[in-house]
Structure 1
Amino acid sequence: MNAVDRRWLARVGAAAGLLITLVALLLAPAGSASAHAVLSSSSPVASAVVPSAPSEVVLTFSESVRKVPDKVRVIAPDGSRADRGEPRFEGSVVTIGVDPAGPQGTYLVSYRVISADSHPVSGAFTYSVGAPSTPPTDAGSDSRADPVVGVGVKVTKYLGYAGLLLVVGPALVLAALWPLRLPRRGPARLLWSGAGLLAVATAAEVWMQVPYTAGGGLFDVTGEGLSEVLGSGYGTAHLIRLGLLAAAVFLLRPLTRGPVGRTDGIILTGLGVAGLFTWPLAGHPAASPAPAVSVLVDAVHLGSMAVWLGGLVMLAGFLLRQADERELRAILPIWSRWAALAVAALLLAGVVQGLIEVATLQALTGTTYGRLLLAKIGLFALVVGVAAYSRQLVRRRTAAARPVPVRRAVWVELAITAVILGVTATLVQTPPARTAVDGGSGADAGYYSTTLTSPILSLQVELDPAERGNNSMHLYAYTPDNRPQPVVEWKATAALPSAGVEPIDIPLLKLTDNHATGEFSFPSAGEWQLRFTVRTSDIDQATVTATVPIK
């Protein structure tokens, strides 16, 4: 097969990948931008006592939501399901059909829905018909994701970033900087490893999104749950990424064997640019107050990162070891300019995105997202300093004669940026700081979680957002060998001794045998002392305490 035929086949393969991408785009659901929706109102109102049973329960969220299969429920006083049929999702309003002939007493409404940036939102409340009774429990409402899934989501995002830079770096250097005399086998292996890593990470992200949003372990994936994810904007973005990657593979193959033509280079660049947008379209930027700007600057941020770090990998792994003095004198100044442009674009895009997602100084210093962003900025400043040192070496023309100092500086850059990628993988899974200060958005401003132990059980405590005003509390009881511990009675109090606040009872609602929830409003900041008494039988109970910083 001659070169013309190979180019023709490569373009046909790329066209096939683009066709798959187009189909995914056409099937993509339409929806408005939102982020971290919270329940703003309900009918009946939480804790209300109504004279007759309603025929439907209406939940109104602050922003649009989509469903998690079988996670919106109404439980009758006798413990049976009172909801009828599938709940209707219409933007921010969820309507649940309810049996109007149900018994009198207290009903439990539990919900778990997904906000536009693909994060789950859950909660529960009660209402009573005629007169209150003992609240029922709902065994199906305990829908937390397994901790392995939470870690796995961050790991796969990290691997996806790594795969991206291992594709972009070799492709860029092979196309523009690689000396003709050097073999391409090593960079080709690196490129294909990156493409495989990116494909596997993308598929794994889709898989783990099911238990992450619906709850459960790594293999608790149903056909319905997977269909819901694939039919969402999140799933569509990942399918498009896979389609674009498949199209790019057909053009990358000729590149690993020798220089490619201008047309193929332009097509490959277009595929790469389009692929970059699938990351922000599946995360926070698509749900920001200015989605068009956020998506654009996040794509620029990600692309600049891939060019810079991918180029550094090629520089450290191949060029500084294999290129001769004459070749390095030609390559390093060009790379130095590219790196400077990439870093400038990273900085500019990061500033714009930070202003959108953080919004205020309070959010920057007082939220988990803001503190992670500060850590990323600090690491970025450090690596820029190392990069500036490398650039000075190149300007002095010492690198060509003695590449060892440059090589060492590059490896330091890569080590620091590997940590930056880890922070970024965590950052994209953290609710944006702007939602922590907008008056009850449900974001984890200072999300507090701890596990308290006693001889008979361990108690996991989750408090959100751990700041002044209304907070949601979730309690989970486990046996010493980490099995769910049935609880007969829950009690909780909150006190602030430094301000003279005596213990205040926290009303708790039992959701399952080992899970209770409650709402509590902290009137002031300080080191609050929470005390929990958990009775597991007529004679066995444990009392544990925790000191929680409320901001």
Structure 2
Amino acid sequence: MWPSKTGKRVTRRLQAALVAAIIAMGMLVPTGALAHAALKSSTPAAGETLDRLPDEIELHFNEPVRLIRATAIDRNGTNQALDADTSGADVRLRFSDPNIRGTVMVSYRVESEDGHPVGGTLVFDIGTPSAKPLVAVGEGSGLSLPIAIWLVHTATVLFLAFVVGGALFDRWLGARNSPTASAATVMLPGAALLASGLYLQGLDEQGSGLVFAGAAPLEIAVQGNAAICASLFFLSLLTIALPLARSKTTGRVLAVVALMLAASAFTFSGHCSAADPRWLARAAIFLHSATLLFWAGSLPSLWKLGRTSPNLRPLSSFSRMIPIPFLVMILAGIVLAIVELPALIQLLSSLYGRILTVKVVLVVCLCMVAVYNRFWLTAPTLAGNPVARERLRRSIVFEIFLAVAIIGTAGLWRFAGPGQVEAAEVSQVLSIHLHSEKAMAQLELGAEASGTRKVHVAIMGPDFDALDPRQVVLRLRNPGSAIEPIKFELTKAPEGGWEVEGCPVRDPKGWLADLEVLVDDFHAVHLEGGLSD
């Protein structure tokens, strides 16, 4: 047995680590859903000016999407629903009123492959911009809806673990006369949680916040992957509650089937389900979920066993077999982390990576507790040592808290895709050298988090000597489209050179740059070139 002082010291350290991890998890509460699918480009681009309304608005995302809704707001504030065609990652929108002029806002909301909704607004001008710029009605739901989604999701996973994983333990490893939950005890809370999750998913897809909106949210949610997940979860619970499960052999088979149904449901949602290679990601999700549900679901049964039962054979059986599924759970989790976060540099630079770090800390605590239980407490407990038995029960309670913390932390990933910003960014920094007989310029277009570009220009003389012009104006035009030239007046950058933010050019193909440099009050130089040259 572990010496008393050492055991207490280890317990205190584990408790401190858990408290620190839970505090860190609290600091990760989302401030709003970040993008999972990301708009890579649009035609027209944001901020562009056209001489006529295009036949179609084209939106190109980084992954296949399902359009939830698309509306346009004209300069008078009038809304009109847009006709749409969706093909994979491309969405084409059409106006019912071709006579729109002035500033136009196109608001869209799509569901990404991982089942999470993404919204955005594209603003452009037809002819002369509106005198009073339109203001979009914010779609942010604040913290209430994300927190509700997270709480219901965490409660649902925990309920599935305790019902399905607990049933698997009781029917395969438990005592012969283990009590079984009634069908009502399983189905009523399960149905309430699943219906609540679907309703919140529909509210999120609507972008309407945490409000009662009739049956519309459910009608929207059942069209996506959330309905598949909820259906598989429901079938899993129903399989456990079937009267046929009262038979020993049938009950064991149905417990395995229920676990497979529940684990399969996780492969239809979440960021990992859309990661490549798809087969590897989904296989890892299935194994990770199945073993997690079994491990977490076994804990309450083990705790009750240590409190009342004189027969500790299930504890012995569990102690012998749990290392294999536990190792599978850890290895599958590592695979998922590698698939989702291929670069370690992203570990602390993204919300996804920070959540992963907290989860790793919790898993390390879990591994320490598991080793302590198996090698220092299980054997004395089986030998009839009452002190070890009581310590094991307390350790299992601590393990249950760890399970809740791990599942809760994993639920935060819904709001933090590993590439939510990276996927939306334009591919790289564009660098173009422009020159004439009187001046040269190095033009760089870097990516901004909003998906636009920041322009930086360094002006030099023909002999690479520095120039200090009075004014620098950049004009961008695309002769192959119905887009009027876009004019930017650059300002002096603190680090030198000239700059401007918010350039809407994402794809440089077809765009020409005209850089007007006012050298002094009487001389101006024009430097021209293509952005894709």
- What's the TM-score, normalizing by structure 1? 0.67
The SS at the match of 2:47 is: coil
Q: 1:409, CA displacement in angstroms?
A: 1.8
Give the one of 188, 195, 200 matched to 2:181: 188
2:342 to 359, 373, 377: 359
Q: In structure 2, what is the Cα distance between the partners aligned to 1:302 and 1:496?
A: 55
Question: In 1, are the aligned partners of 2:165 and 2:294 still within 8 Å (CA)?
Answer: yes
Q: CA separation in 2, counterparts of 1:430 and 1:441?
A: 22
| Residue of structure 1 equivalent to 2:450 | 472
Q: In 2, distance between residues paired with 1:134 and 1:280?
A: 50
Give the Cα–Cα distance (whole angstroms) in 2 for the partners of residues 353 and 283 of structure 1.
11
CA contact (8 A) 1:332 1:394 kept: no
2: CA distance, partners of 1:314 / 1:496: 68
* Secondary structure, aligned partner of 2:118: strand
Give the deviation of 1:227 after TM superposition: 1.9
Partner of residue 416, structure 1? 402
Question: Quick one: which of 269, 292, 300 aligns to 2:279?
Answer: 292
Q: Deviations over 1:392-442 (max 9, x none)?
A: 135644444121122122122222222212212212x13332454456289
> In structure 2, what is the Cα distance between the partners aligned to 1:268 and 1:108?
53
1:322 Cα offset (Å): 1.8
Q: Deviations over 1:123-142 (max 9, x none)?
A: 22322223333364266x42
CA deviation string 1:24-75 (max 9, x = no partner): xxxxxxxxxxx92222222223222222222332222222222224xx2222
After superposition, where does 1:118-129 map in structure 2 within 5 Å? 118-129=115-126
Task: Report the residue type matching 2:63 in the other structure.
Answer: E
1:240-293 deviation line (CA, Å, top 9, x unaligned): 322342233114752xxxxx3424422431232122111231222321122222
Deviation of 1:194 (Å): 5.5
Paired letter, 1:290 = P
CA distance, structure 2, for counterparts of residue 106 and residue 115 of structure 1: 28
Partner in structure 2 of residue 167 of structure 1 = 163
- Alignment RMSD, CA only? 3.3
Contact persistence 1:393–1:399 (CA under 8 A): no
Pick aligned residue for 1:307 from 294, 302, 307: 294
Q: 1:65/1:222 Cα in 2 relative to 1: closer, same or farther (>3 Å)?
A: farther
Structure 1 CA distance for aligned equivalents of residues 421 and 73 of structure 2: 31
Change in Cα spacing, 1:437 to 1:86, as seen in structure 2 (3 Å) is closer
Selected match of 1:349 from 328, 332, 335: 332
Please point out which of 302, 305, 326 is paired with 1:319: 305
Q: Distance in 2 between matches of 1:253 and 1:335?
A: 22
Aligned partner of residue 124 in structure 2, secondary structure: strand
Q: Distance in 1 between matches of 2:343 and 2:384?
A: 49
In 1, are the aligned partners of 2:284 and 2:335 still within 8 Å (CA)?
Answer: yes
Q: Distance in 1 between matches of 2:37 and 2:229?
A: 21
Aligned residue for 1:116, secondary structure, equals: coil
Q: Which residue in 2 is equivalent to 1:219?
A: 211
Check the 8 A contact 1:77/1:104 in 2, yes or no. yes
Contact (CA 8 Å) 1:163, 1:195: kept in 2 or not? no
- In the other structure, the counterpart of 1:28 is none
Give yes or no for contact 2:167–2:240 (8 Å, CA) kept in 1: no
1:381 pairs with 2:364? yes
Number of aligned residue pairs: give it: 412
The CA deviation at 1:389 is: 1.0
In the TM superposition, residue 371 of structure 1 has moved relative to its aligned partner by 1.1
Is the partner of 1:401 in helix, strand or coil?
Answer: coil
Amino acid at match of 2:158: A
Gaps of 5+ in 1: 1-34, 255-259, 443-467, 474-494, 508-517, 522-551
5+ long unaligned stretches in structure 2: 1-34, 428-445, 452-490, 507-533
* Contact 2:165 2:297 (8 Å CA) reproduced: yes
- AA at the equivalent of 1:245: L
Q: Is the 8 A contact 1:145 1:214 kept in 2?
A: no
Instruction: Give the residue type in structure 2 aligned to 1:239.
Output: S
Displacement of 1:472 in angstroms is 2.9
TM-score by length of structure 2 reads 0.69
Correspondence 1:157 to 2:142: no
Per-residue CA deviations over 1:290-343 (Å, capped at 9, x if unaligned) read 222222211211221121121121111x2112222xx22x33221112322232
Find the aligned partners of 1:125 and 1:387 in 2 and give their Cα distance: 52
1:519 CA drift (Å): 8.3
d(CA) in 2 for partners of 1:342 and 1:271?
17
